[in-house]
Structure 1
Amino acid sequence: MSRWLIATMTSILFIALVIAVTGFEALLADVEAIPQPDASPYLGPTMVVAAAAVVFLATAAGIREGNPGVTGLVAAAGTYLAMLATGAVGYSMTRGDGTELLVFPAGSALSPFIVGSVFVALLCVLGGVSAARYQARQRAADAAPGGEGDRR
Structure 2
Amino acid sequence: MARNPKARAISHPPLFTTFKPAGVVGTKLTTITLELDEYEAIRLADYEGLEHEKASDAMGISRSTFTRLVERARKKMALMLVEGSKLVIDGGSVHFKENVYQCKACNHRFRASILEEKKECPLCHSSELVDFAKGFGHGVCCHAKKEKE
With the length of structure 2 as denominator, give the TM-score of the two structures. 0.28
Rg larger in structure: 1
Structure with greater proportional strand content: 2
Structure with greater proportional helix content: 1
With the length of structure 1 as denominator, give the TM-score of the two structures. 0.28
